[in-house]
Amino acid sequence: MSSENTHVLTYEEVRRLDELLGSPIQVHGRGNFPTLEIKPREFVAQVLERLTSEKVNVHDVRLNGSTASFVLNDGQGDAESDSVDQCTDLDLIFNVDLPSISHFQLVKNCVLDTLIDFLPSEASKDRMTNCIMKEAYVRKMVKVANKPDTWSLISLANNQGRNMELKFVDTMKRKFEFSIDSFQIHLNSLLGFHGISSKEMSSTMYPSIEAVSEFGNFEEARYHLRNKLIGTRKPEEIRGGGLLKYCNLLLKDYTPVSDAITNMEKYMCSRFFIDFSDIPSQKRTLESYLDSHSLSSTEKRYNYLMILYRVVESSTVCLMSHERRITLRMILDMANEVFVQQAPTSCSSYQQQRYIYYQVPQYLPSRGRMYMESLNRGPIMQLADDYYIPPQRVSTREEKATSTLVPCH
């Protein structure tokens, strides 16, 4: 690893990291299973101990994702991005050897056995099996065993979307989506410090911890983080093209670092529609992303869907026109559902009403040759027998011109 890709953490960064890993997080159980209070540092140490006893070779453990970005932001960004509440998942990477399928099972058993140890004392731990713990506390499990990607993921559930995700990686071709999430912080020295020293950490005695940027130049990536810039390369290599996260960054007022990033939108869309080629899989993926990335509020969800709609509409070049139209309709339908939930009570949001007209393709019936969307109330449309029609028919240019303003009483 080049020296320009690495960074040794300052004491303040080490302190932030230690507080983050020492603070309990909740793992919520389904049904009547109790909520577990887990300190990530203790959980990782116990998983490592079990992996060692099972003869699984562990090279190192790293912190990745938004939590690593939070540690390295170091109070230099704005108040929102510098808040731990902006962290989504707690991503932990175990670089391990997975030479056979049986090693995947060993890794899973080590994690689930460790979960049992964190059950409250009044629980009947002897009656708990790994199958029961999986159904109760695991939100998602993924296993990939195709070179050059060999890894598994176990995501522990949190109802607020702040899941603890443990990724066991043998090989992985693409390790980041955007520059701001390319940071990985080595945790071995921190875990070792607490294992051998009973003294509190201080500015004169703290472990030396190294961070790397998989994007490339570390300071360039941190500059993007502190200034809310979007940088990436070859998005077509990312599963899903990074499209959903890209729209999430736009929602958070990040801006592309250059026009080249904006031009990459078409590659993001193309890869997304390659990986999710039908409407049901696109909708499931989108709904899952909304539920797990702090987009629970109706306002954020609606604005996100509108950004996604704009990007897909302007940058999709790989779909046939009718496929593109069906996908856009699916996004609008989801936005309609969210908008209805907002139930606005103030008339101030209805001061101006604008309409957008779409030409119906020639092969469709001539009835309803134009339809429109009321953008100030969300893209709510009515369904005709043969196509979309507006609440009131508009057929001439003069009528269209007079339909752009609606008084607010």
The encoded tokens of residue 164 equal 């603890």
The encoded tokens of residue 310 equal 């704009």
Considering the domain architecture, whether residues 110 and 11 belong to the same structural domain is answered as yes
Q: Assess contact for 115 and 137: CB atoms under 8 A.
A: yes
Q: CB neighbours (10 Å) of residue 305? A: 26
Residue 347: its pLDDT value, please? 42
- Tens-place pLDDT, residues 19-75: 999 999 999 999 889 999 999 999 999 999 999 999 999 999 999 988 999 999 865
Considering the domain architecture, whether residues 236 and 218 belong to the same structural domain is answered as no
Residue 294: its pLDDT value, please? 66
Considering the domain architecture, whether residues 223 and 243 belong to the same structural domain is answered as no
Residues 72 and 63: their CA atoms lie apart, in Å, by: 11
Considering the domain architecture, whether residues 238 and 292 belong to the same structural domain is answered as yes
Quick check: pTM over 0.85?
Answer: no
Considering the domain architecture, whether residues 93 and 21 belong to the same structural domain is answered as yes
The chain-wide mean pLDDT, for the chain, equals 82
Considering the domain architecture, whether residues 112 and 207 belong to the same structural domain is answered as yes
C-alpha distances in Å from residue 343, one per residue of 287, 299, 337, 350, 378: 21, 11, 11, 13, 11
- Tens-place pLDDT, residues 352-391: 444 444 455 555 554 444 444 444 444 444 443 333 334 4
Q: Assess contact for 20 and 91: CB atoms under 8 A.
A: no
The encoded tokens of residue 181 equal 């999430």
Quote the number of domains for the chain: 3
Considering the domain architecture, whether residues 378 and 295 belong to the same structural domain is answered as no
Residue 186: its pLDDT value, please? 96
Please report, as a single letter, which amino acid is at residue 86.
Answer: Q
- If you write DSSP's letter for every residue of 253-310 in order, what string do you get? T-EESSHHHHHTHHHHHHHHHHHS-SHHHHHHHHHHHHHHTT--SHHHHHHHHHHHHH
Considering the domain architecture, whether residues 185 and 256 belong to the same structural domain is answered as no
Query: Which of 205, 227, 249 is the C-terminal boundary of a domain?
Result: 227
Considering the domain architecture, whether residues 83 and 187 belong to the same structural domain is answered as yes
Which structural domain range is residue 40 located in? Answer: 3-227
Query: Which of 291, 315, 343 is the C-terminal boundary of a domain?
Result: 343
- Rg of the chain taking only CA atoms, in angstroms: 25
Considering the domain architecture, whether residues 202 and 306 belong to the same structural domain is answered as no
Residues β-bridged to residue 138: 156
Considering the domain architecture, whether residues 102 and 122 belong to the same structural domain is answered as yes
Considering the domain architecture, whether residues 296 and 281 belong to the same structural domain is answered as yes
Residue 225: its pLDDT value, please? 94
Spell out, as residue ranges, where the chain has pLDDT lower than 50.
79, 81-83, 345-358, 366-409
Query: Which of 303, 325, 343 is the C-terminal boundary of a domain?
Result: 343
